[in-house]
Amino acid sequence: MATHLTLRQIEFFVSVADTGQISRSSSLCNVSQSSMTIALQNLEDAVGVPLLARHAKGVRLTEAGERFLRHVQQATLSVDQAVTAAREEPGQLAGRLRIGVTETISAYLIPTLMATLSRRFAGLEIEIVERERTAVEEGLVAGELDIALLLVSNTALVDELKCETMLRSARRLWTAPDHPLQEAQRVTLEDVARENYLLLDMDEHVETVGKYWGKYGLKPRVRLQSKSIEAVRSLVAQGHGVTILSDLVYRPWSLEGNRISRRDLGVPVPTMDVGAVWRRNGALSDQARALLELLRSWKRAAR
């Protein structure tokens, strides 16, 4: 019965659903392959239906496994949020904090950041300013913003600013679950270049793609270039093309409820790095320093 499920079993299942390989997931979860296999078998016994289908190069989710995954991912997220909330003690910091962000940061980091800051510093007035990267940098230099969160891997900062990288997000290949590249032993950019490519046009990503593809003397065969990540996500899930994007923006489902799989590439591609940015000259405000310390705590916890 489902009452015998454990969080550890669910952690293993989510990892295997992501990687498609018990061997790789056991390494990521720091457990032996045999222990993970037994845990997954016990999970299937507890649920009462097969969740994984084995094949020569790994495993894939059954239809029941797809349905199960969609629900347990929300459960694991709720547990993580509960642990975080229990550990936080409200602080007395008040005043105003002006944070500059670009659209990617706004979509994928700000909701979590705002929730955490609101719990920890109830008296803090937070103003989020979303602009293009260069406009955010100008706002910092002019003193209009206290601190910013930017994709610092995209470009060198101006001399008046300093930054600290807080997150390095790996870029991986996204495809529909049944795409042949998911079962290939190794995938290179030459392999990806033969596929229809869905190019996201956000936060200077097009320039970044051109740079790292150019190092291999290749170009993607772009079928669609879009500023909508949801359009890219949906088309990938429907099998209309593939893309390479960072784990930060990955979601396993499209808006229509179709699954998206990802896998490592066999060649190095740059990570997408998120950093805190502030003025080089001049002291940080207490409010900005509190945000910086919060981000550093997240960075330490992720190691």
Q: For residue 50, which phi and psi values (nearest 5 degrees)? A: -65, 130
Q: What is the pLDDT of residue 223?
A: 96
- pLDDT category at 238 given cuts 50, 70, 90 is very high
DSSP 30: T
Residue 293: domain span: 88-169+273-302
* 178 and 102 both lie in a single domain: no
- Strand ranges across the sheet with 261-263: 243-246, 171-175, 261-263
Work out the angle between the directed axes of helices 7-19 and 63-87 (0-180°, nearest 10).
120
* 12 and 28 both lie in a single domain: yes
H helix intervals, 57-175: 63-87, 103-108, 110-120, 133-141
Are 294 and 116 spatial neighbours (Cβ–Cβ below 8 Å)?
yes
Residues with Cβ within 8 Å of 228's Cβ and at least 6 positions away in sequence, in order, are none
- pLDDT higher for 191 or 18? 191
* 215 and 289 both lie in a single domain: no
Q: What is the pLDDT of residue 90?
A: 57
* 256 and 233 both lie in a single domain: yes
* 254 and 108 both lie in a single domain: no
Q: What is the pLDDT of residue 303?
A: 63
Give the 3-state DSSP-derived string for 125-154, with helices as H, strands as E and coil as C. EEEEEECCHHHHHHHHHCCCCCEEEEECCC
* 232 and 221 both lie in a single domain: yes
* 67 and 195 both lie in a single domain: no
Name the domain count of the chain: 3
The CATH number of the domain holding residue 43 is 1.10.10.10
CA 274 from centroid of its chain's CA atoms: 11
pTM of the model: 0.79
- pLDDT higher for 220 or 30? 220
- pLDDT category at 193 given cuts 50, 70, 90 is very high
Residue corresponding to tokens 């032993």: 185
CA–CA gap between residue 180 and residue 261 (Å, rounded)? 12
Beta strands 161-169 and 196-200, pairing class: unpaired
* 48 and 192 both lie in a single domain: no
Percent of the chain at pLDDT exceeding 70: 92
Residue ending a domain, choose from 86, 105, 124: 86
Q: What is the pLDDT of residue 89?
A: 59
Residue ending a domain, choose from 61, 86, 111: 86
CA–CA gap between residue 63 and residue 279 (Å, rounded)? 52
The CATH number of the domain holding residue 279 is 3.40.190.10
Q: What is the pLDDT of residue 81?
A: 59
pLDDT at residue 3 tops 80: no
pLDDT at residue 1 tops 50: no
Residue ending a domain, choose from 54, 86, 118: 86
* 157 and 224 both lie in a single domain: no
Tell me the residue type at 122. A
With CA atoms as reference, report the closest residue to 287 among 63, 85, 92.
92
45-84 per-position pLDDT tens digit: 999 999 998 877 788 888 888 888 878 876 766 666 566 6
* 164 and 278 both lie in a single domain: yes
Q: How far is CA 207 from CA 121, 159, 197, 210, 219, in A?
A: 38, 22, 15, 5, 12
160-191 per-position pLDDT tens digit: 999 999 999 999 999 998 899 988 889 999 99
Are 21 and 59 spatial neighbours (Cβ–Cβ below 8 Å)?
yes
CA–CA gap between residue 190 and residue 196 (Å, rounded)? 12
The count of other CB atoms within 10 Å of the CB of residue 282 is 9
* 254 and 284 both lie in a single domain: no
Residues with Cβ within 8 Å of 211's Cβ and at least 6 positions away in sequence, in order, are none
* 8 and 74 both lie in a single domain: yes
